[in-house]
Structure 1
Amino acid sequence: MYSNNSKSIKYSLCIFMDEEKGDEIAYIQFPQKFNNLTKNDIYGSSFRVIQQLELAGLDANGGPMYIGTGCFHRREALCGKQYEKNYKVDWKKLNDTKANESASVLEETCKVLASCTFEHNTPWGKEMGLKYGILVEDIITGLSIKCRGWKSMYLNPEREGFLGVAPTTLLQLLVQHTRWAEGHLQIFLSRYCSLVYGYKRIPLKLRLAYCPFNLWAANCLATLYYVVVPCLCLLKGFSLFPKISSPWVVPFVYVAFVHRAYSLGEFLWCGGTFRGWCNDQRVWLFKRTTSYFFAFFQTILKLLGYSQLTYALTAKVSDENVSERYEQELIEFGATSPMFDILATLAMLNLFGSFGAIKKVILDADEDFKVLDQFGLQILLCLVLVTINLPVYQALFFRKDNGKMPSSVTYKSIIFALLACTVAMY
């Protein structure tokens, strides 16, 4: 992440020095943006709706969360000071402050401050500075600052304040989101849960605003249910949803259609493209069935004492061929990973389920309307999932470049999917 706007400091100081509200602002948060996104954002790294709407909307409830980068902090707030209603900064006095020490003394002092042991046996990491012990230390740091009475503000200038490098392979993205989702769930299950830690300290709306992010990992349960169970029940001949002819189907259709239409409208309003929205939906499905799944169970294992806290770094350097495929908006699968085993197996499972549904309609030609009436929503869900997974099928069977799925993943996914279908049918 690097500075891309020389006026970022000026904009932030204008807010900090505002005579009416500036003294209550602890930090100014800029959006996290990237300089290497493709036209249709193949990996959904831009977080368009979150960056442009959701975080900006939090200004009305105390300000956005601290996201770890692109941020200017007030020193007193970061160092643990409690906000006081009549707190005022004497900017003139601060401007007149001069260092009496010589350059050599200041240099030696800086060396001590920059050492790895400076914060040992001090309040740093507990009462001052960034909080230690959780993968997303930035989130709990911002939350603790707000619980001391401070507010924050979101600043999104026309020229990006800061730019970074987004992941250029799918595995990089999934590893990154595993860490984020695991850290957020750790917060929710710890004493730093916004609903508990922020009680009587910050507004209820702000406490609730943290929850959707803290519960990213828990989303895997509902998503995996909708990806796996309807498909297997379709093969078994068990209907999960109301018949198409039933009036009870209206709420299901309404919610599904309106939610997707609203999501698309938001995405386009934020400057995205239709293909970009499709990529975004695909990546959310991939993350919920892999990254969030691993994050959820890793967090549970750590709570039970079966695992230790680890920090997985996200590689941001790719070779030339990977970069070329990224520019061409081809999803990079060229690695062996349990996450790809899950993605491929779920894709094959829904493909087999769709074949089974088509077979059922063709063989029962005399009662095809009855089949469609009874299983219409399940068939539609399977077909939608097959459409979303088209890049996975392409990587499994048709691609010849190094970005294709490894053969071992292909074989395992077919075997696991066939085994699941066989068990479901018999």
Structure 2
Amino acid sequence: MEDGEKKATKPDSQAPPPPPPLSAVHVNRPLVAANRAMAAVHAALVAAVIAHRAMALLSDSAGSASSWSRHVVMALADLTLLFLWALSQSGLWRPVTRAAFPDRLLAAVPRVDVLVVTADPDKEPPLGVMNTVVSAMALDYPGGALSVYLSDDAGSPLTLLAARKAYAFARAWVPFCRRHSVQCPWPDRYFAGDDAHDGGGGDRREEIAEERTRVKKLYDKLKADIEAAKKDESISGSWTKAKRQDHDAYVEIITAKEDADVDDEEEELPALVYVAREKRRAWPHHFKAGALNALLRVSGVVSNAAYVLVLDCDMACNSRASAMDAMCFLLDGSPPAPENLAFVQFPQMFHNLSHNDIYTNELRYIFGTRWFGMDGVRGPFLSGTGFYVRRDALYGATPPPRSTDFSSMDAGELKTRFGHSDRLVASLRSNSGGDQRHRRRLPHVPPEPESLALVASCAYEAGTAWGTGVGFMYQSVVEDYFTGYQRFFSRGWTSTYCYPEPRPAFLGSVPTNLNDVLVQNKRWMSGMLVVGVSRRHSPLACRPLLRASLLQAMGYAYFGFAALYAVPMLCYATLPQLCLLRGVPLFPCPAAAAAAFASSLLQHLAEVCVARRGRLDLRMWWNEQRFWVLNALTGQLFGCVSAAQELLGARAMDFDLTSKAADGRLYQDGVFDFTGCSTLLLPATTLSVLNAAAIMAGTWKMTSWGGFQFAGELLPQLFLMCYGAALSYPLLEGMFLRWDAARVPPRITALSVALAAVLLAVFG
């Protein structure tokens, strides 16, 4: 009888099979082994160089002060390089790749709010901004579950007008993309025919030709309307540059006009909300982080989506699939998907890269190499744009099993943290905890304009936790870097790197002028160094981060201290040159130094080959070598100076916006464009002149009568200087061999020659 009962109950006792995983991860074990082997060899070679330097110091302790100081300076340079190299290895320790399976997602998906930020209609043309907005509205996601928010920090009537017209165009563009499965939702790229991989309907190309022509006419009308508005004095004249820092808050939920020349028979269109937060000169606005926090509050009041996609205004959606791909990771409950996943980071890729990327704008070092390695630790860093993040994690929640439940807090506590908006507090209390899929839809009756203007006012954050315990953090101009480990990783959250191939999820625009590139790097280096050396916020002093993962703390510390490359580069750009002129050998063991140098070059070449899927790309390797040196003597050097001034209170935190409106013809031709270069370039040009002069004078001395006795000991220095001269050739060419308008400014050339002459006269 018992056996019969067991047989009868056996089918009922079987648990249903688990749902298939939404994502998968693969550890690249051969690459892991190769990276660790190369790291061990290089570490041994550098240790030998430093050991010989230490022995030279001990044996020369009774020698002259100048000889002893040379060895001390070079030892400092080598130790700094070793320190930074050791930190950088965390990004190579365990590279992984991931795959998403969006076809396995259930029908119900959570709401997503897209946050787009723009700050200057001159440097960030409105047409490009609207392409980003419209491409986000056309994502392959239910229209009722998607909302797009545009932050216009300038409060420009031109941007507002462009947003209204872009929404009217989107009423035709979004249904067109849905009906014909258009892969590229970026109108400008789609209609220009630049996207060779976009099927645009596959076998139905002939069927959609007529509709495509109609939609293209609407897009041409959008472009013409925006251009006409730029020339309309009644629009452009009503906005002045002085009003950028002094204007009222304005929020508009843009809706369709009855007379719009588009079809209105498709499913629900994503909402578009224009936000110009209030700005006053007496109130700090905290740059991009402040704009994002204002968007978080406005979106919390209007749609309150569980997840947020952040995009720069020049980072348009190149694929409609990114939202579904991101949800595969964020909603995957099967191992090894973690419950504490805070955000999914997509790579930053660019549409206007030249074949010969002389400024290394591709950022291969980060998005093509290091982020795969950090994904194998606890996830890549927050990278400014192109990431889907949990709203509650941004609000300061902690991950399971001790999740923060805002609904359990009383209204007074919530208002202390989040401000005194009743609607924002209500959204927190009604949607905290539980299944992230279930969030309220965009209400049919929009919030009152007063409640929207309140959360976008400049005084709203006073006395709250915004910028410190809630939202994006304010202590650095690189809000993504700082927010990433303070808001997420140190609290127990993790992240995932999604690298879709062959179609990039997002495509942005790179600066095509050298000065803009260097200014951008200076801002990054300065902001990260301020965090890196901070006693309170340094990754190497963050105990929760260190306890969670030493490797991740090392990865964050590497970028925090990357500006310090300027120190060894200054040493290697001055001491070998001046010592060669005096006939003083600088390397105690030339063989060990040469082996370490070769090991460094080969390790870099191996990274490039892996990023190029096994292809030997010497051009990329050389461009990265050249720009690494140039950036160390410009962006990183001035980043150190700027960080020191900020830490000493001698300079306020500043945000240098780079232009997205340059034509970039010289960059596309592989020619350095020095237009607008200022004193930021002066150290590099001066040291290039010094190096070239030292090579000529040193070679003459070595080959002159009686000079051959020093040749053997000085050849390593001469080789290093010749390598530096090859790297700095574009600077020398721009100073002495070019006469076009984009050459190095003559005042910079004259000042560089004068400073190099002074150095030679005093120390040579």
1:130 partner letter: F
- Determine if contact 1:40/1:273 at 8 Å carries over to the other structure: no
* CA distance, structure 1, for counterparts of residue 595 and residue 401 of structure 2: 48
Query: 1:44 is matched with which residue: 340, 343, 360?
Result: 360
User: After superposition, what is the alpha-carbon deviation per residue over 1:125-146, rounded to whole angstroms, capped at 9, x for unaligned?
Assistant: 1111100121111111110211
Tell me by how many angstroms 1:280 deviates: 1.3
How far apart are residue 346 of structure 1 and its match? 0.8
Q: Distance in 2 between matches of 1:363 and 1:166?
A: 49
Aligned pairs for 1:92-171 within 5 A: 94-98=436-440, 102-105=444-447, 109-144=451-486, 145-158=488-501, 159-171=503-515
Query: What TM-score does the superposition give when structure 2 sets the normalisation length?
Result: 0.52
Q: CA–CA distance in 2 between the matches of 1:409 and 1:96?
A: 60
* 5+ long unaligned stretches in structure 2: 1-314, 405-430
1:416 matched to 2:755? The reply is yes
Please point out which of 333, 345, 353 is paired with 1:19: 333
Q: Which residue of 1 aligns with 2:556?
A: 210
Is 1:75 aligned with 2:420? no
Aligned twin of 1:245: none
Give secondary structure in 1 for the equivalent of 2:343: strand
**Corresponding residue for 1:8?**
322
Identify the match of residue 279 of structure 1 among 601, 612, 623: 623
- Asked if the contact 2:339–2:400 (Cα under 8 Å) also holds between the matched residues in 1, the reply is no
1:318-360 superposed Cα distances (whole Å, 9 cap, x missing partner): 1x4xx22111110111234112222211110000010012101
Q: Which amino acid aligns with 2:648?
A: L
Aligned to 1:259: 600
Q: How big is each residue's C-alpha offset from its partner over 1:210-242, in whole Å with a ceiling of 9 and x where there is no partner?
A: 111111111111111001111011112221113
Most deviating of 228-237 and 107-116: 107-116
2:668 to 303, 322, 327: 327
CA separation of 1:59 and 1:302: change in aligned 2, threshold 3 A: same
Q: Name the SS for the 1:215 alignment partner.
A: helix
Distance 1:94 1:325, change over 3 A: closer
**Offset of residue 116 of structure 1:** 4.1
In the alignment, what sits opposite 1:403?
Answer: 742
- Report the counterpart of residue 192 of structure 1 in structure 2: 537
Aligned residue identity for 1:140: F
CA distance in 2, matches of 1:93, 1:352: 68
2:586 to 229, 240, 244: 240
With over 3 angstroms needed to count, the CA separation of the structure-2 counterparts of 1:73 and 1:106, relative to structure 1, is: farther
Residue number in structure 2 paired with 1:377 = 716
Code of the aligned partner of 1:418: A
Partner amino acid for 1:58? Answer: M
**Alpha-carbon distance between aligned partners in 1 of 2:617 and 2:733, rounded to the nearest angstrom:** 23
Deviation of 1:394 (Å): 1.1
- Specify the SS of the correspondent of 1:353: helix
1:345 is aligned to 2:691: no
Deviations 1:53-75 (A, max 9, x none): 21111122211111111110011
SS at match of 2:687: helix
Q: Deviations over 1:282-335 (max 9, x none)?
A: 1111110111111112212222222221221112221x4xx2211111011123
Which 5+ residue runs of structure 1 have no aligned equivalent? 243-247
2:53 aligned residue: none
Which has the bigger relative contact order, CA under 8 A and spacing at least 6? 1
SS in 2 for 1:103: coil
**Cα distance in structure 2, aligned partners of 1:374 and 1:79:** 61
Change (3 A) 1:313 1:348: same
Name the CA distance, whole Å, in 2 between partners of 1:27 and 1:6.
19
More deviation, 79-88/52-61: 79-88
Tell me, what secondary structure is at the counterpart of 1:104?
Answer: coil
Q: Which residue is 2:198 aligned to?
A: none
The answer (yes or no) to whether the contact 1:230–1:240 under 8 Å persists in 2 is yes
Correspondence 1:54 to 2:393: no
Alpha-carbon spacing, 1:212–1:296, altered in 2? closer, same or farther (3 Å): same
Tell which structure's C-alpha radius of gyration is larger: 2
Does the CA contact (< 8 Å) of 2:515 and 2:677 recur in 1?
A: no
User: Structure 2: how far apart are the matches of 1:109 and 1:31?
Assistant: 36
Deviation at 1:87, TM superposition (A): 5.7
